[in-house]
Structure 1
Amino acid sequence: MSGRPRTSIGTFGEIRLVDLGGKYVAETRFRDLDGRLRKVRATAPSARAVRSLIKDRLAARVGYGSGGLLRLSSPFAELAELWLEDLRTRDISEGTKENYRDDLRLHVRPFFASYTLGELTTGRVEVFLKQELAISYSRAKHSKTLLSMLFAFALRHDAIPRNPLEGTSDLTRPPNVVQALSLEQVQRIRASAAQWRTGPGVMGPRPDGTVRDVCEVLLGTSMRPGEVLALRPVDIVETKKGMVAHIQGTVVERKKSGCYRQDHPKTGASVRRIPVPEFAAQVIRQRLALMGPEQAEVTIFHNRYGKVLTLHNLRRTFRDIVKEAGLEGLGITPRWYRRTGATILARGIGVDAAAAFLGHTSTAITQKHYIELDTLVDQTPASILDRTLRPVDPDGTLLGQRVSDEEEDLLDELDGDDLQG
């Protein structure tokens, strides 16, 4: 059966204009949320005035957003504020929440501030994402993820009829993006860290090698920086096959409370026991030898006052080390050690096993890989990392291989998940 297309809920049909001599009447039919079509009528002394009046009435009519929170005429800023309220109640880390707030404030909200929800078209979202992609792939990806959450929130409240992200172009990763450190870069940074501020003419106290040692443990374990800084003697166990570290906390930075050790890591999957390669284990043993039994719950890597070594100080010192290594301008941060480890493990034991080792998996995968490993930790990842990254006679075979699509996906997920550290 053919006929007139059905008017979508929350929308209206053709506006009819009638000149009654001295006044004008505009009329259309609006399909309400109960599915019924109802007339909407306006009267004004001129054609221009009546068109404006009926459009105002249609915009104000309850359509999407009958729950009283949002409607098509709501400004984007209103959606943003309601989403932020919802974000406060979500069971995710405070660091991730802060990153979402910053991305919204600095990147997403300024572009969409002048639009209502009804004006959030696929084309406008496409323009925004292209602008973000021109700045960096990572920034565009984070912005797209944030918009996806915002639009999903709007859909849950019947504020919009469809997700404007649908139909936008896929984000294309730029070619030749460096995903991990090369073996040469690893050795240059290692040498620079060992010599940092040790030459003649250095003003102030000489470094005690803490950041140098942190770099070795980051390199050997592929932990997040905050996880390494949170390690305590009580988290370290020596077994017949080698050292095992129990990751059960992280160091975090908060705008109001500063830097402190949090008694749980970033996610549930991040609570894990991992084998430590011998070159990193030696560093940890040397640090433990300087600590007394009463310091079992003091962080292994602490400042001269026994307090937590802050992420800010780690990043600042690491920047100086990278600069002295002649690698300034490449964007290398402590997180690159994790990406390097991920690359080696993905090629050595497979992407899924690498993700489990890195603490970046669903609960199901974590259980699959770690229920048994709680009592018997597989030393294979440590052997692969030790062979590839040890200071003397490292084997660069795995780092020399080409990047696979699965490996790129894993590294992208790591970058998105590990924003706070």
Structure 2
Amino acid sequence: MSGGRPRTAIGTYGTVSVRRHGRSYIATTRFRDLDGRLRAVAACAASRSAAQAHLKERLLSRPGFGSGGVLSLSSPFSDLAELWLADLELQDLTEGTRKNYRQDLKRQILPAFQNYTLGEVTTGRVEWFLKSEAKVSYSRAKHSRTMLNLLFAFALRHDAIPRNPVEGTSPLEKPKNTPRALTLEQVAAIRQAAAVWRTGPDVKGPKPDGQVRDITEVLLGTALRIGEALALRPCDIFDGPNGMELQVRGTVVLRTGQGAVRQDHPKTEHSVRRIAVPEFAATVLRARLAARGEGERRRTIFSNKSGAPLSPYNVRRTFREFLALAGLQDSGISLRWYRRTGATVIARGASTDAAALFLGHGSTAITEGHYIEPDRTVDREPAALLERTLRRDAADSALLQAPYSSAEEELLAELDEADSEAA
């Protein structure tokens, strides 16, 4: 049957009428609920305008966008957080990523929004919250915005809200902060400190086993993430007539109640890669491999006395002692700077795409690999650039002394951002 008045859409209401009842006013309308039925909604107040306002408040909180009663505009924000966390456990994410999400939700998001319903979380309220977060730090505001987008995207998928309130908020202003690589002077100072750390005649206790010293050399020559370096096993190393290559196939993560555990896949799908190793880092790995038996090919190269992987936390702690011994404790240097240094050398000597590919970061080269037959050969040019620039003797400082281009700054900033969860 055609013609007639159009049907009221689910979640909307029709004409509002107001009538006097004694000394009060009653505002009424009909609201189309989730089951498709029209139902009368009324509100009473002492004046016509107050009755209309009261009615609109009731309509706003009505579960017109609900999902079978699971979530609606009138649901507390804490209900959304609880359901999102439950869904998080079903997703294919690393335990470290889940832990970071849970902590960010508990520490930053819930305190700000737990007293609101979903319908009360407006774009303006999100805007105010993100601006207050940005006053603390850009990184914190960015993480908070990401979290809110994930939460409200979940609510949208469950028809709990008509739109994402994060949309329409102002872009976050990223501070101009030029990323830096290590200088050759800093590399030499840290190498010297690592060589003499806890070796004096007055040092008490067991002598160091040199593992953290060797880890820094491997990081310098491969630009791996710290977890990737600690996850290396003898079966991941291939040493042939053209030089050494290694395959990144896992990472070390910290798990509650277990400590450091090797995970059988690295941080991202792009992180699975095979790279050539410069000779100065290959020398260190060969020495470590020579001390291993044939039955230890699947145990991590860097391990504690019980054979478990080294903890990234303990490696960072020892590295900070290296920095103090080198007089660099206030420099801001961390193990991440080794990854920046590798990226800088390769980007300047080859290209930013070559650097991104070597470091296991998304790039146009990787994107193109989905559409054309991939080249299975290992590019040895990045290793040659790292060897020439960072070897112990006769290192060439030309690449590290040049000013940063905008493309290089963007690459390093993206690397820092992508690796922040594993820092």
TM-score, length of structure 1 as denominator length: 0.87
Q: How far apart, CA to CA, are the structure 1 residues paired with 2:80 and 2:230? A: 38
1:289 aligns with 2:290: yes
1:45 Cα deviation from its structure 2 partner? 7.3
More displaced, 254-263 or 222-231? Answer: 254-263
Q: 2:375 and 2:240 mapped to 1: Cα distance?
A: 16
Aligned to 1:372: 375
**Are 2:178 and 2:409, in contact at CA under 8 Å, matched by a contact in 1?**
no
Deviation at 1:211? 0.2
Deviations 1:2-24 (CA, angstroms, capped at 9, x unpaired) = xxxx9996455886544322443
Contact 2:26 2:45 in 1 (8 A): yes
| Distance change (3 Å), C-alpha of 1:315 and 1:403 | same
Matches within 5 A, 1:3-402: 10=11, 17-28=18-29, 30=31, 39-43=40-44, 54=55, 57-361=58-362, 364-365=367-368, 371-373=374-376, 376-402=377-403
In 1, the alpha carbon distance for the partners of 2:312 and 2:159 equals: 42
Code of the residue aligned with 1:115 in structure 2: it is: Y
2:26 partner SS: strand
Shift of 1:239: 2.1
Task: Give the aligned CA root-mean-square deviation in angstroms.
Answer: 3.0
Within 2, Cα distance between the matches of 1:113 and 1:336? 38
Report what 2:4 is aligned to: none
Looking at structure 2, the residues matched to 110 and 144 of structure 1 have their Cα atoms a distance apart, in angstroms, of: 15
CA contact (8 A) 1:220 1:280 kept: yes
AA paired with 2:375?
E
Partner of 1:420: 422
Moved more, 235-244 or 120-129: 120-129
Q: Which amino acid aligns with 1:234?
A: C
- Structure 1 residue 231, shift from structure 2 partner: 1.0
Structure 1: segments with no counterpart, 5+ residues: 1-5
* Alpha-carbon shift at residue 228 of structure 1 (Å): 0.8
Tell me the distance in 1 between the aligned counterparts of 2:131 and 2:192.
41
Q: Is the 8 A contact 2:34 2:66 kept in 1?
A: no
Kindly, what percent of the aligned residue pairs are identical?
A: 57
**Shift in Å, 1:365:** 4.9
The residue identity in structure 1 corresponding to 2:171 is D
In structure 2, how many angstroms separate the alpha carbons of the residues matched to 1:26 and 1:243? 80
Residue 290 of structure 1 deviates from its aligned partner by 1.6
CA contact (8 A) 1:251 1:259 kept: yes
Higher mean alpha-carbon deviation, 120-129 vs 377-386, is at 120-129
Give per-residue Cα distances to partners, 1:55-102, cap 9 Å, x unaligned: 564244231223432212222211111111111111222221211111
- The residue number in structure 2 matching 1:3 is none
Structure 2 residue ranges without an equivalent (≥5): 1-6
Q: Name the TM-score, length of structure 2 as normaliser.
A: 0.87
Aligned-partner Cα distance in 1 for 2:94–2:47: 57
Aligned partners of 1:369 and 1:384: how far apart in 2? 27
CA separation of 1:207/1:382 partners in 2, compared to 1, >3 Å: closer, same or farther? same
